[in-house]
Amino acid sequence: MPQTAAIKQKTGRSINDAFASHFAKSMFLAVSALIILSFIGTRMFTHVDLNLYGYMVGTIVFLGGFFYRFIAWGERPPTKILIKKGVKLLVRPETLKTSTRHLAIHDFIWNRGMYRWTQHFLIGWGCILSCFVTFPLVFGWMYFTMEENGYYTVVALGIDIMRVDADGILAFFFYNALNITAVMVIAGVCMALYRRLKNMQARAEQKFMYDFLPLYLLLLISITGLILTFMNVFLHGQGHYVMSLIHQYSVIITLIYLPFGKLAHIPFRPMSVLARNYREHYAKQSMKKCKVCGDPFVSTEQSNDVRQVLGTNHIHFDTEDGFNLAELCLPCRRKYRISRFSGIATHEIKVKETNQNAKG
């Protein structure tokens, strides 16, 4: 009894008890971190650009949607197992290689063709680099101060880190970083739209709200951003105010929509490293052989986890033949389902599917 009381008392003092839910806790910590970093980066809010206030509000709303989606996804039994075991495996030497392949060069798209890899690479890195430039500026983590001698000082988190010539090549890339990423996104989006309009399989599967709307939003952001630069350089700022509002609204709407649509896979993509580490690590330890054909198809750990999750959800796939469907490789599983309708033991026929080992 004393031990139980001690446990209850310890639990009652947990930080989790101060919040109504995991979502509330995540939002509080995230917003607090943003405020603290902005306080430091702007030197106690002395360098705040109020023209970027709308982007700041949109980012905070985006974080709310992201945490809502992530927590809803993370509370699922299979996801809990994946995250718990995947995080422990981040110390693997292969993690850096896996991260490079999945997050940097996107080689998981390469098997689908060079065209799709190019469009995905342009859109992905165009969006990521835009965020790396925009968010530090929005929250004041980075800004520039102009000196009288024609040099800019780059300030990051309140620290002067470098001086650049206002007319130099480095300053040119600083000025045009978002223009370069906008061109990347426009090129990638145009490639994606062309494929969706010409490829028969894509045309049969796509939906306007899910597949086309995200592309149009990215196109709107990129084009209005380039128009802003054109107005400032060639029109001496004429029409800048109206176009800046259009551009800002397009960014805010996209940020609010992003966690709930197809673009949500961008912030979720790092989770693929956990999944890859999980599969590769346990595959080296022991492989599960298919109960029908005998071919190894998945790690023993993953097979056991699948059966555990199914049991947690009170789903049972035990068959009359004495095995569980989770113990069959995908081709044999498909053939077994056919046998239940045809009455013929098709899963025992030693014939492989034509595209059984296809990639992409």
Rg of the chain over CA atoms, in angstroms? 26
Q: Determine contact, residues 122/185, Cβ cutoff 8 Å.
A: yes
Sign, CA torsion 307/310/312/315: negative
Neighbours of 342 (CB within 10 A): 10
What is the spatial distance between Cα 335 and Cα 292, in angstroms, rounded to a whole number? 10
Q: Determine contact, residues 262/210, Cβ cutoff 8 Å.
A: yes
Q: What is the pLDDT of residue 38?
A: 83
Tell me which H or E stretch contains 162. Answer: strand 159-165
The domains of the chain are located at: 22-272, 286-348
Q: What is the pLDDT of residue 67?
A: 87
Q: What is the pLDDT of residue 7?
A: 47
Q: What is the pLDDT of residue 179?
A: 95
Of 28, 21, 113, which is closest to residue 71 (Cα–Cα)? 21
Q: At what angle do helices 240-257 and 213-234 cross, to 10 degrees?
A: 160
What pTM did the predictor assign?
0.79
Residuewise pLDDT in 10s, the chain (360 residues): 445 444 444 545 677 778 777 778 888 888 888 888 888 887 788 777 778 888 888 888 898 888 888 888 888 888 888 888 888 888 888 888 888 888 888 888 888 889 999 999 999 999 999 999 998 888 888 888 887 778 888 888 878 888 888 888 888 888 899 999 999 999 999 999 998 888 877 777 888 888 899 999 999 999 999 999 999 888 888 888 899 999 999 999 999 999 988 888 888 888 888 888 888 888 888 898 888 888 888 888 888 888 888 887 777 777 777 778 888 888 888 888 787 777 777 666 676 655 555 554
The SS3 of residue 14 is: coil
Q: Which residues of 135-149 are buried (b: 16+ CB within 10 A; e: fewer)?
A: ebebbbbbbeeeeee
Look up the CATH number of domain 22-272. 1.20.950
What is the spatial distance between Cα 328 and Cα 324, in angstroms, rounded to a whole number? 7
What is the spatial distance between Cα 231 and Cα 220, in angstroms, rounded to a whole number? 16
